[in-house]
Structure 1
Amino acid sequence: MPDLALQILLLLFLAGLIAGFIDAIAGGGGMITIPAMLLAGIPPLQALGTNKLQSLFGSGAASWTYARHGHVDLRGQLPMVLTAALGAGLGAALATVIPGDVLKAFLPLLLLAIALYFGFKPNIGDVDQHRVISERTFAMTFVPALGFYDGVFGPGTGSFLMLGFVALAGYGILKATAHTKFLNFGSNVGAFVVFVGVGAVIWKVGLAMGAGQFIGAQLGSRFAMKQGAKVIKPLLVTVSIALAIRLLADPQQPLRVWLGL
């Protein structure tokens, strides 16, 4: 592809910064970064691969910040991160044989369901609740499944992980946010390795956006730790709804095509 002008790289840096801030709190950063790269003329496959590179900076910076303040044990969560990375690697490798239209069709509905869950469940706060399944079962089933989804498709992964940590693992919302970013880091690594292998990463763009992601994630994670559930919960609901609307706005969205809308 043609060499990108400096002003385009600066705009992509800004997109990464904004995405990093939002993603560190509620996920959904890809809703900003992937369209930004497509608008810059980057082909879809390279946009997906480069997105994994720049996301590593944001998810890594947010994970480190949360860990420094005691909200996630990086060493203790490493096995879970490895299962996320393995799932994402398999998802990226097998993306061509997955029925992508099915995923794309029902994703907006799932995101709206997540928004309703967090919006109307009254007892979600910063305090841990009752765990529904064991940590081992959670790590061996839900986590690699979401990692696989992140490698195959990606949008909404953070929202789904938040839902799992709160509804299944019983985490408070700030703790869930911290652990979500670390697992996101693992799934980004797994998919990134595959995309590098097929030459689908534009390093200059990924590093420029990654610098923005790093700064944004630092700011966002600190803001989340200061404000807690009162900012994470409404932003998560807003991001989930916004992503669902954005996906449904596409005339080629499979659900719209199937319903003739």
Structure 2
Amino acid sequence: MPELALQILLLLFLAGLLAGFIDAIAGGGGMVTIPAMLLAGIPPLQVLGTNKLQSLFGSASASWAYARHGHVDLREQLPMALTAALGAVLGALLATVVPAGVLKAALPFLLIAIAVYFGLKPGIGDVERHRRMSAFAFGATVVPLIGFYDGVFGPGTGSFLMLGFVSLAGYGILKATAHTKFLNFGSNVGAFAVFLAFGAVLWKVGLVMGLGQFVGAQLGSRFAMKQGAKVIKPLLVTVSVLLALRLLADPAHPLRLWLGF
């Protein structure tokens, strides 16, 4: 594709900055970055590959920030991050086999269900609750499945991880946010490796947006650590609903095609 003008790269940097801020708190950064790259005229396959490159910077930056303040032990969480990466590799490799139309059709309703769960369920805050799954079982089942989804499709991965950590692992919402970022980094690495092998990465765009993601994630993670559940919970609900609406607004969404509107 032709070289992008400097002002377009600047706008993509700002999109990465905003996405990094949002993603470090509640996930959903792809809601900003993917449309921004499509509007810049980047082909869809390169958008997906480049999105994984720039997302690496945001998820790594947020993980580092949360770890520095003691909200997550990266060494302890490394096995889960590796299973997320493995799941994402398999998902990206098998993307042509998986019925992506079904995923796209169901995703808005899953995101709305997550928003309802976090919005209406009482007692979700910074205090940890009863664990329903062991760390081993969670890392061996839930994490690679969500990583697989991230490799196949992607939007909403952070929301699904948050839901798992809160409802199954019993984490408080700030701890869940901190742990989600490193697993998201793992799934980004796995999917990025596949897209890189297929030559679907635009390095200049990815690095420019990645710089924005890094800065935005530092700002977002610090804001989340300062404000805690009182900002994470409403932003997670808002991002989930907005992402669902954006997906439904796409004229190519399978549900709209099936219903003919």
**TM-score w.r.t. length of structure 1:** 0.99
TM-aligned CA deviation for residue 259 of structure 1: 2.9
**1:106 is aligned to 2:116:** no
Aligned residue in 1 for 2:2: 2
Aligned residue in 2 for 1:80: 80
Whole-angstrom distance in 2 between the partners of 1:150 and 1:239: 17
Aligned residue in 2 for 1:14: 14
The worse-fitting range, judged by mean Cα deviation, of 248-257 and 140-149 is 248-257
1:23-102 equivalences under 5 Å are: 23-102=23-102
Whole-angstrom distance in 1 between the partners of 2:198 and 2:260: 36
Aligned residue in 2 for 1:254: 254
Whole-angstrom distance in 2 between the partners of 1:172 and 1:258: 40
Whole-angstrom distance in 2 between the partners of 1:243 and 1:221: 20
**1:125 is aligned to 2:111:** no
Whole-angstrom distance in 2 between the partners of 1:33 and 1:54: 9
* One-letter amino acid of the structure 1 residue matched with residue 41 of structure 2: G
The worse-fitting range, judged by mean Cα deviation, of 231-240 and 244-253 is 244-253
* One-letter amino acid of the structure 2 residue matched with residue 75 of structure 1: R
Whole-angstrom distance in 2 between the partners of 1:222 and 1:205: 26
Aligned residue in 2 for 1:175: 175
Instruction: Give the 3-state SS of the residue equivalent to 2:13 in structure 1.
Output: helix
Percent identity over paired residues:
82
Whole-angstrom distance in 1 between the partners of 2:244 and 2:111: 6
Whole-angstrom distance in 2 between the partners of 1:93 and 1:150: 12
Aligned residue in 2 for 1:149: 149
Return 5+ residue gaps in structure 1 as ranges: none
**1:221 is aligned to 2:195:** no
Whole-angstrom distance in 2 between the partners of 1:23 and 1:71: 17
Instruction: Give the 3-state SS of the residue equivalent to 2:242 in structure 1.
Output: helix
Instruction: Give the 3-state SS of the residue equivalent to 1:122 in structure 2.
Output: coil
Instruction: Give the 3-state SS of the residue equivalent to 2:217 in structure 1.
Output: helix
TM-aligned CA deviation for residue 42 of structure 1: 0.3
After superposition, give the CA deviation of every residue in 1:118-161 in whole Å (9 maximum; x if it has no partner): 00011000011001111111000000000000000000000000
Return 5+ residue gaps in structure 2 as ranges: none
Structure 1 residue ranges (4+ consecutive) displaced by more than 6 angstroms after TM superposition: none
After superposition, give the CA deviation of every residue in 1:220-250 in whole Å (9 maximum; x if it has no partner): 0000000000000000000000000000111
Whole-angstrom distance in 2 between the partners of 1:247 and 1:207: 26
Aligned residue in 2 for 1:192: 192
Whole-angstrom distance in 2 between the partners of 1:193 and 1:244: 28
Aligned residue in 2 for 1:137: 137
Whole-angstrom distance in 2 between the partners of 1:200 and 1:248: 26
* One-letter amino acid of the structure 1 residue matched with residue 147 of structure 2: G
Whole-angstrom distance in 2 between the partners of 1:168 and 1:101: 28
Instruction: Give the 3-state SS of the residue equivalent to 1:22 in structure 2.
Output: helix
- Cα RMSD for the two superposed structures: 0.6
